[in-house]
Amino acid sequence: MTTSLAAPLLEMRSVNKHYLMGESRIDALKSIDTTIRAGEFAAIWGPSGSGKSTFCNLIGLLDTPSSGSVHFEGRDVSCLSDDERSMLRNRAIGFVFQGFNLIPVLSALENVMLPLQLAHVGARAAREAATRRLDEMGLGSHLAHRPAKLSGGQQQRVAIARALVGAPALVVADEPTANLDSENALKVIALMRAISRREGTAFVFSTHDQRLLERVDRRLMLHDGLIVDDLQVVPGIVPLREHIC
């Protein structure tokens, strides 16, 4: 178990997730107990099929557990309706997808404005907030560019700006550096790290990227649906490492 000075943002208690493929059952996650705290900069890693994506789906409230509970900001998300989960995601969770998942017919600015517009923020306020985030990402001169006109690194930064524009408590990022060259990857990691520290945003990455794993505060290793290693590397948080299995 981990303890920290920061408040728990998300708690998973005895979480199991299984899928049915025809008549066979696949246990994607088994008895997961963990806590994500505000401002945490953590990575989930492990081999393919270990349950990383399922884990990210559950903490991103994109899916619900087969058994056990996921509490976000103290609320059991299984008890929320689909609309309530949508509103919670919009308000408190940002996503960075491996394939960026930008809307191709919208400009960089419009893509970043989307979460705010879903939250019914006025167009002017949304535009200002989105412009600020894109400026922060070094894309102030690319506001009107559509995704197809941006490089992979630029698209990834637009996706990060979109994830952060609503000042979420948690950002869930799936392989955020997978499509980036080393220089861009390091830039993106540094940027997210700075935002995490400055704004207290928790980041949870699903990754294989060693460059990213070396720069997070906490590494959770998944294997066959189990957390087999939970390593804290930030001073002030104890214990630093706990082997669960």
Partner 1 sequence: MLTWMKLAVRNLFRNGRRSLFTVLAIALGFVAVNVLGGFTTYIFNSLKESYIYAEANGHMTLFRAGFLDQGKLDPTRYLLTREQQATIHRVLAQHPEVLVSTPQLQISGLLSNGQVSTIFVASGRVPSDIAKIAGRANDGQGVRMYDGRALADENRQGIGVSHGLAKVLGLKLSATAVAMAPTVGGQINALDASLVQLVDAPIEALEDKLAVVPLAFAQELYDTAGVDRITLLLTRSALPETLRQRLATEFREAGLELDMRTWTELSPFYTKAKKMFDVIFVVSFLIVFTIVVMSVVNTFTMAVLERTREIGTLRALGMKRRGIVGLFGLESVVLGGFGALAGIGLTLLIVAIVGWLQPTWIPPQMARRVPLQIHLVPAYWLFSTGLLMLLSIFSAIVPARKAARMPITHALGYA
Residues forming the site for partner 1 (CB under 8 A): 57, 60, 62-63, 82-83, 86-87, 89-91, 95, 97, 99, 101, 103-106, 110, 113-115, 117-119, 123, 162
Helix 123-136 to helix 108-118 angle (10° resolution) is 130
User: Minimum Å distance from CB 126 to partner 1?
Assistant: 9
User: Minimum Å distance from CB 103 to partner 1?
Assistant: 6
Closer CB to partner 1, 67 or 86, in the complex: 86
In three-state secondary structure terms, 86 is helix
CA dist 60 → 84, 138, 204, 217 (Å): 13, 27, 10, 19
Closest to 14 measured CA to CA, from 28, 37, 34, 43: 34
User: Minimum Å distance from CB 192 to partner 1?
Assistant: 18
User: Minimum Å distance from CB 170 to partner 1?
Assistant: 13
- Cα 165 to the center of its chain, rounded Å: 14
Q: How many Å apart are CA 224 and CA 26, to the nearest integer?
A: 10
User: Minimum Å distance from CB 94 to partner 1?
Assistant: 9
Angle 130-54-237 (CA atoms, 0-180°, nearest 5)?
75
Closer CB to partner 1, 108 or 231, in the complex: 108
Closer CB to partner 1, 2 or 176, in the complex: 176
Closer CB to partner 1, 122 or 239, in the complex: 122
Closer CB to partner 1, 65 or 217, in the complex: 65
